[in-house]
Amino acid sequence: MSAAPAAPELPLIEAFGASISPSIRSSTILIVGDASLGNGLIVGILRRAGFADIHTAEGAEAMSRIEALKPDLVLIDSELLERDRIQLCIDIRSDPRFANLPIIVQTELGNRVDGPTLFAIKVSDILVKPINPNELVTRVANHLERVELLRELRQYHDRTREELGAARRMQLDLLPSLPIDHGMAAAHGLRVATFYRPSSEIGGDIWGVLPIDQGCFGVFLVDFAGHGVTAALNVFRLHALVLELKALHRDPSALLGRLNDALVPVLPCGQFATFLYAVIDMAESRLRFASAGAPSPVLRLPDGSPARLLDSAGIPLGVVPGSSYQQHEHGFERGALLLLFSDGLSEFPDGNGERIGEQGLLQLVSRWSRAGRGGDARS
C-alpha cells in the first residue's frame, strides 16, 4: 500500500512563483477573514510565491477596504461566518465597478451547500480546506492572469475605438460640406440634397464633387467592398487618386480607366470598388457618366415621362487590368432630376417591410411632385 503524497515543500512554491510574470506577482490581493486564524498562513504562502502587494481585512470592513484598494483579487477565508461570506459576495457583485473582480472563497471539506450557493452568486472559484499551497498559488495566479488579459483587452478596445473615431472623422471630412453643395447649386441653377450614413463606424462608401469650370462640374460615388478599416483605407487611397487625375475630370470613361489601372496592382484579391462618375454640363444641358458596376442612376426628365434607370454596366475598379468603360450621354434640361445612390438605398425596406429595390425607387421618384420641388430647376 503506497503512502499518500506529501504536501509540497515551500521551496517548490518559490520555484513555481518564479515562473509567474512580474506583472502578475505585483497584483493587489485582499484576504478577508479572521486575522487571528487562517489569514496568516495564506499570506505566508502567497508571499513565498512572490506576491508582494497583499492586504488583509476583517469581515466587517471588507467592502470599505475593497473600495479603497480596488484589488485585483479577493480571497475570502472560511473562518468568516457563512452568512457573512455570502452577503459580502453579493455586495461585491452588486457594485458595477467589481463585476469582473475575481472572488475566491474557501470552504470546508465535505460542505455540499457552499458550492451551488456560491457559484449562484457569481463567485469565481472555491478552494477546499485544508489548504494545499501549490493549489492556492495556482488558482490565484490563474485568476490574476485572466484579470490582466481582460485589462489588456479593454485597453485594446478603447484604443481601437478612439482610432476608429478618428478615422471616421477623417472620412467625414472628405465629404462635400453643405456650403459647397449649396454654393455650387446656386451657381448652376441647381438644388442639391444629400444623405450619408455608413453602416458601421467606418466603411467604404463616399461621394464627392469636382468643380471643373463655371458651367461644368463632376460628381462621383464610391462603394468599396467590405466595411471597417480596410475599406476606409481604400477609400482614402481612391479619393487621393481622383483628385490627382484632375486633367481627366471632364472625361468620365478615361478617368475610370486610369483609376482602375492604378488600383489593380495594389488591391489584394477580393477587394474592389464600384464607382460612378458623372459630369453635369450646365452650358450644354448634358449629363455624361461612366460606371464601374455602380447602382444605376435614376433620371427623371421634365417632359412628364416616368423616371428611368440608366445603364450602369461596367467592371468594378481594381479587378481586371486594362478595363475600358463606356461613356453615356443624356440631356439634362431645366427641371430634370438625377438620383445617385449606393446599394444600401435599394436594400431599404418599403412600407410592407420588403426590400424596396430599384423598381420601388423608380416609382417613388416618378411620384415626387414637381410643383413641390420647384420644377424650374435641375436637381
The full 3-state SS of the chain, as one line of letters, equals: CCCCCCCCCHHHHHHHHHCCCHHHHCCCEEEECCCCCCHHHHHHHHHHCCCCCEEEECHHHHHHHHHHHCCCEEEECCCCCHHHHHHHHHHHHHCHHHCCCCEEEEEECCCCCHHHHHHHCCCCEEEEECCCHHHHHHHHHHHHHHHHHHHHHHHHHHHHHHHHHHHHHHHHHHCCCHHHHHHHHHHHCECCCCCCCCCCCCEEEEEEEEEEECCEEEEEEEEEEEEHHHHHHHHHHHHHHHHHCHHHCCCHHHHHHHHHHHHCCCCCCCCCEEEEEEEEECCCCEEEEEEEECCCCEEECCCCCCCEECCCCCCCECCCCCCCCCEEEEECCCCCEEECCCHHHHCCECCCCCECHHHHHHHHHHHCCHHHHCCCCEC
Domain boundaries, the chain: 10-153, 175-373
- Mean pLDDT rounded to a whole number for the chain: 83
> Is 175-373 CATH 3.40.1390.10?
no
Statement: residue 375 has pLDDT above 90: no
pLDDT of residue 286: 92
For 84, 126, 128, the CA distances from 136, given in Å and listed in that order, are 22, 10, 10
Q: What is the pLDDT of residues 307-336, one digit of tens each?
A: 899 999 999 999 999 999 999 999 998 888
Cell numbers at 361, concatenated: 425607387
Could you tell me which CATH number the domain at 10-153 has? 3.40.50.2300
For 179, 306, 340, the CA distances from 369, given in Å and listed in that order, are 26, 12, 19
pLDDT of residue 306: 83
pLDDT band at 269 (very low <50, low <70, confident <90, very high): confident
pLDDT of residue 77: 84
pLDDT of residue 213: 84
pLDDT of residue 53: 94
**Exposed/middle/buried for residue 120 (C-beta within 10 Å: 0-12, 13-18, 19+):** exposed
pTM of full prediction above 0.75: no
pLDDT band at 19 (very low <50, low <70, confident <90, very high): confident
Q: What is the pLDDT of residues 110-169, one digit of tens each?
A: 665 567 888 888 999 998 888 888 899 999 999 999 999 988 998 888 887 887 777 777
Q: What is the pLDDT of residues 193-220, one digit of tens each?
A: 777 776 555 667 888 889 888 778 899 9
- Phi-psi category of residue 70: left, alpha or beta, with phi > 0 → left and psi -120 to 50 → alpha: left
pLDDT of residue 373: 46
Residue for grid cell 452588486:
94
Least confident of 19-28, 31-40, 239-248, 312-321: 31-40
pLDDT of residue 287: 95
